[in-house]
């Protein structure tokens, strides 16, 4: 789920030249404030990054609420919190587990973003 939100936020079409496209393209681009334009950002003037973050928060909360209904009542709150923390930590863990960005990867990412119109 988090991977889908991250990839669609920037582009779902990652070139094969990237070893870890979620980190090398999506996470780094979102940190720089680069995200796909979308209808809510056009209608309300909000930054696309803010719209993506709100969408991700709603999806994560909905999944946590639905999944917590499968857990015994006594453990629901702890389960929902653990699921929420895991979903929010996913991009951070991806970044931490990824090697440092090489100059070639940086150039390729900037070329890709230029082709996409960023």
pLDDT at 73: 87
Pairwise CA distance, residues 78 & 114, whole Å: 44
Sorted by where each begins, the domain ranges of the chain are 2-115
d(CA 101, CA 104): 8
25-80 residue pLDDT tens: 888 888 888 888 888 888 998 888 888 888 888 888 888 888 888 889 888 888 88
User: Comparing C-alpha atoms, which of 68, 117, 91 is closest to residue 5?
Assistant: 91
Place of tokens 């209808």: 39
What tens digit of pLDDT does each residue of 80-111 get?
888 888 888 887 887 787 777 778 888 888 88
């Amino acid at each position: 789920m988090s991977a889908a939100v991250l990839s669609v936020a920037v582009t779902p079409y990652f070139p094969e030249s990237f070893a870890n496209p979620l980190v090398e393209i999506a996470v780094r681009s979102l940190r720089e404030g680069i995200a796909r334009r979308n209808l809510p950002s056009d209608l309300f003037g909000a930054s696309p990054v803010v719209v993506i973050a709100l969408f991700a928060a709603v999806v994560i909360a909905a999944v946590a609420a639905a999944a917590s209904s499968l857990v015994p009542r006594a453990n629901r709150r702890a389960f929902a919190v653990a699921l929420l923390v895991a979903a929010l930590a996913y991009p951070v863990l991806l970044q931490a587990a990824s090697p440092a960005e090489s100059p070639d990867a940086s150039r390729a990412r900037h070329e890709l973003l230029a082709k996409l119109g960023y």
